[in-house]
């Protein structure tokens, strides 16, 4: 299977009334209905768990810095490594701890804000992307990205542009693969299917969340276990799971 085929499977899996797509559409609707940056950031932070609300004054600090931007111009300058607001936003620190000390950057939340502000015309950088990106690139024989250079977003733009891949489609792949590798299906299937899946996979009696996720992740690497839930999921999801088990994530 080629990379673009794998991406297409992920897009098909997530577009079918999944909790993931419901949340994505909700955020998009909020962006259409209000230009209030603080409200937009708060919704993203809540639904995507970027943890900014745990910082004192974090959301307010970031909202004040973002302001109203010509994002098309800023993105082009960001791509070309010219002076731009995006780089400054990514490098800054937002919010403080109770002790008054600085908290840190907010790259995930910022990338997601620009993603929605531009109708998905900007990549996302978050924990799942960092976890699976190089494993995907390695499997399909592309050059890996240096995660220590803090330049993941620009590298993603270059890669997607060169391969003629939509940022949102590639993000679908990385997000879905990351969730599978972590044994987390709740954002991928509805509640009824989820309950049937854990019953089929004999996971109903595991109480500890971490142990449950580990067991689920292991089962989703096993074709015999995947076959048990074949009738509960779409054919695209079944094919995605069969192929995803071949991609090894380095710890």
Could you read off the pLDDT of 15-44 as tens digits, one per residue? 978 999 999 999 999 999 999 999 999 999
pLDDT given for residue 148 in this prediction? 79
- 94-145 pLDDT per residue, tens: 999 999 999 999 999 999 999 999 999 999 999 999 999 999 999 999 999 9
User: Quick one: tokens of 113?
Assistant: 């804000």
Q: What is the structure's pLDDT at 137? A: 96
Give the confidence band of 181 by pLDDT, cuts at 50, 70, 90.
Answer: very high
Cα angle at 145 between 141 and 147, to 5 degrees? 145
Residue 251 has pLDDT above 80, yes or no: no
CA distances 124 to 108, 167, 193, 229, Å, are 7, 8, 28, 31
State residue 16's pLDDT score: 75
Q: Which residues contact 213 (CB under 8 A, 6 or more apart)?
A: 182, 183, 184
Q: Please, how many CA atoms are within 13 Å of residue 213, restricted to the half-sphere of its CB?
A: 9
The pTM assigned to this predicted structure is 0.94
> Around Cβ 67, how many Cβ atoms within 10 Å?
9
| Predicted pLDDT at 131 | 94
Mean pLDDT, rounded, for 153-169: 96
């Amino acid at each position: 299977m080629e990379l673009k085929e794998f991406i297409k499977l992920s897009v098909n899996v997530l577009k079918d009334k999944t909790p993931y797509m419901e949340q994505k559409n909700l955020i998009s609707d909020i962006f259409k209905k209000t230009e209030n940056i603080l409200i937009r950031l708060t919704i993203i932070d809540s639904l995507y768990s970027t943890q900014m609300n745990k910082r004192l004054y974090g959301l307010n600090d970031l909202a004040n810095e973002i302001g109203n931007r010509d994002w098309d111009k800023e993105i082009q300058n960001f791509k070309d490594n010219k002076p731009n607001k995006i780089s400054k936003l990514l490098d800054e620190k937002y919010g403080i701890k109770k002790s008054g000390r600085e908290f840190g950057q907010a790259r995930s939340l910022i990338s997601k804000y620009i993603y929605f502000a531009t109708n998905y015309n900007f990549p996302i950088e978050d924990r799942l992307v960092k976890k699976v990106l190089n494993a995907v690139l390695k499997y399909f024989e592309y050059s890996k990205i240096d995660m220590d250079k803090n330049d993941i977003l620009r590298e993603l733009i270059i890669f997607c542009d060169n391969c003629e891949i939509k940022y949102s489609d590639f993000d679908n792949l990385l997000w879905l693969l990351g969730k599978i590798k972590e044994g987390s299906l709740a954002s991928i299937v509805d509640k009824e299917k989820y309950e049937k899946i854990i019953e089929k996979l004999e996971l109903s009696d595991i109480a500890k969340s971490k142990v449950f996720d580990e067991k689920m992740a292991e089962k989703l690497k096993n074709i015999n276990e995947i076959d048990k839930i074949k009738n509960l999921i779409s054919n695209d999801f079944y094919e995605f799971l069969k192929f995803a088990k071949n991609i090894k994530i380095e710890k």
